[in-house]
Structure 1
């Protein structure tokens, strides 16, 4: 069962917009494939794409979106600025430049504002310095990395929690508990981890450059993990990061 058969649920933001709970991530270092993006949009029902200026694929993504034939209004596109673009004028110019690169009118300029890799003290500082509470906080999230205090804080402040690297860059799919639950449900370990994340209410953005994996990652709405499954997966937290640890970033 795919996203074309089961409509992807959305999560409400504090400004009234709704973000699809499942998206397709992209990255630098080979994390983009034109055919896979087009396939995700046209065959898997994906309507949420996550990228960043730093990834260097804005123009390519724009071509993929155009090739899909989908109207901009049907898509949720997340882009991220690099620290060199911080500051009002620089950020505004960077947003406009990214829109031009992708051939879109907005993501962006700017219907919703989010942050990435912010821990509680970063969000507290932001609250002191800014007038707008971010609508989304995107951080690493998988069974090995479950920042429960940060999640609780985001919920308390009306910030949607979004998780990247739901498969821990492949480290989690060989875990015996994950494999046991996958066998029980006749699903793949990747599907179990993505379903677990979604079932926890986390906006989840797995990435893949292979069509078959993209489709597999999207087929997570036709089954439900049981309470004991969720508990077992929650027990896997060991605090490891597979990307980088933002805790001590000033």
Structure 2
């Protein structure tokens, strides 16, 4: 391996994690398990492929399966980064504290690396009560980092106005067709790391001419191009798959780079909120 190649690979390795405002390191590439009905097997395969970051949620009903995979993998718990979330129907101070304990029991863990408010549909009062409960759970060392998901700017502002600290993470739908630029810019200005869910557009645009052309140019598959776009933008993509071959290929994204022309072409695909392929509740009151 040449010195230039070694230097480039070293730089890519340095970019494989990001330090959160909580002080903890988070792997930039995560493994999503939404609607994954073989979660234990998929997570074990993901660990073999090099993933160390798993994104779950209470409503996914697979926290226990993630925990099983962690224990069966033999990997040290401290080398892994596990996320879960509480959906709006469970929001509230007491219910959130109870939910944290229930998640810990299901995972079989002593702590959860990142706990997110899953969505903002519960309304301002319950959102803030939930956020307060998560901060207290962190104080009790049950959670290491607190964040939110599907939060628009006004949701983030209400946290600030209530006198609470800024969340470390905001997880939103994010891919070339739905770039949510105002929210991303707000997060950037306030030190909030942006996680990108549905980075593969739920496989609905893999045959788009722009993506196909760039994939052919780099001798990569479309999914790798989409994941790399996200990484190169500074996001934390959370691709999901139950297919072992895809799990491996989705992780092989650190040995190439998209040039300025590639990025400009992908950036030009933005359709704003019309490009969303999920619920994307960032405008909830």
- Could you say which TM-score interval applies, normalised by the shorter chain? over 0.9
Aligned-pair CA distance for 1:130: 4.6
Cα separation, 1, equivalents of 2:100 and 2:53:
18
Moved >6 Å (runs of 4+): none
User: What are the ranges of 5 or more consecutive residues in structure 2 without an aligned counterpart?
Assistant: 1-9, 116-141
Aligned-pair CA distance for 1:129: 2.2
Cα separation, 1, equivalents of 2:258 and 2:60:
34
User: What are the ranges of 5 or more consecutive residues in structure 1 without an aligned counterpart?
Assistant: none
- Name the counterpart of 1:111: 144
Q: Which of 67, 70, 93 is matched with 1:88 structurally?
A: 93
1:40 matched to 2:40: no
- Aligned pairs for 1:1-250 (under 5 A) are 7=13, 9-28=16-35, 30=36, 32-41=38-47, 43-107=48-112, 108=115, 109-239=142-272, 240-250=275-285
Whichever of the two has the greater Rg, that structure is 2
Contact 2:152-2:283 at 8 Å conserved across structures: no
Using structure 1 for the length normalisation, give the TM-score: 0.93
Cα separation, 1, equivalents of 2:18 and 2:242:
26
Which secondary structure state, in structure 2, belongs to the residue aligned with residue 113 of structure 1?
strand
Structure with more contact order per residue of length (Cα contacts < 8 Å, sep ≥ 6): 1
Greater displacement, 31-40 / 14-23: 31-40
Contact 2:224-2:250 at 8 Å conserved across structures: yes
RMSD of aligned C-alpha atoms?
Answer: 1.6
